[in-house]
């Protein structure tokens, strides 16, 4: 049993339908029963749980995905956790005295396939998910009545699931082909870049769906 960092995982619980085992310091394990069919469920704090289908006397090498400790948003793509990369979002003048938040056309995002996508939220602030239209500006505001501003841009609904570790939870979303940006969010508005608040740059993460 190896972790995604290539190191053996010691002390992981290996559960079959008939008996249980624990991995040794070198990541190997032996079950005290003849378990040659069915499923093995593997769990260890700090790693994502995994299930493998048995089909013989020898279990192939298994890799457990380590739960990231660094703050961020991670996507589960091809059974691996990959961080959704940061991109710069710029605020530009919009129509009618409003503003538009826009992503550069050449910005590189995480590549994912259309359909359900599972995200691991290990983020220190809230965020909202928006579809990036052809003009590259996923979020807009325009003057409303009195001192209030309104936004005609709806966010994309996400389903927040169970915690996999303290402060880290699954988020499930279904996406069609296109580009999507996660905007850091606080009290109903995007969060400016902390080190460049006067330059109208903002914090986002980009996903490109094929």
pLDDT tens per residue, range 29-42: 888 887 666 788 99
Whether 36 contacts 58, CB under 8 Å: no
State the CATH architecture for 1-66.
Answer: Sandwich (2.60)
pLDDT tens, position by position, 168-199: 889 999 999 999 999 988 877 888 876 555 66
Q: What is the DSSP letter of 198?
A: G
Instruction: Judge whether residue 145 has pLDDT over 70.
Output: no
pLDDT computed for residue 119 by the predictor? 94
Whether 50 contacts 76, CB under 8 Å: no
**For the chain, domain boundaries:** 1-66, 72-209
Q: Rounded to an integer, what distance in angstroms lies between the CA atom of residue 35 and that of residue 19?
A: 8
Question: Ramachandran region of residue 46, left (φ > 0), alpha (ψ -120 to 50) or beta?
Answer: left
- 3-class DSSP state for residue 97? helix
More confident residue, 151 or 138: 138
CA 90 to chain centre: 23
Nearest-CA neighbor of 95 among 54, 153, 37, 56? Answer: 153
């Amino acid at each position: 049993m190896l972790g995604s960092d290539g190191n053996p995982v010691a002390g992981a619980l290996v559960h079959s339908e008939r008996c249980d085992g624990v991995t040794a310091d070198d990541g190997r394990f032996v079950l005290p029963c003849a378990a040659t069919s069915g499923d093995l469920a593997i769990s260890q704090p700090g790693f994502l749980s995994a299930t493998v289908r048995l089909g013989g006397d020898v279990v192939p090498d298994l890799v457990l995905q380590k739960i990231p400790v660094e703050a961020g948003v991670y996507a589960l793509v091809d059974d691996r956790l990959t961080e959704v990369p940061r991109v710069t979002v710029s605020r530009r003048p919009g129509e009618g005295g409003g503003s538009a938040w826009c992503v550069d056309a050449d910005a590189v995002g995480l590549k994912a396939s259309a359909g359900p996508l599972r995200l691991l939220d290990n983020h220190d602030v809230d965020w909202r998910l928006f579809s990036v239209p052809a003009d590259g500006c996923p979020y807009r505001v325009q003057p409303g009545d009195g001192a209030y501003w309104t936004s005609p841009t709806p966010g994309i609904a996400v389903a927040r699931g169970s915690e996999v570790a303290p402060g880290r939870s699954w988020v499930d979303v279904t996406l069609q082909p296109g580009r999507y940006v996660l905007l850091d969010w606080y009290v109903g508005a995007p969060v400016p870049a902390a080190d460049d608040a006067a330059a109208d740059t903002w914090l986002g993460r980009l996903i490109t769906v094929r």
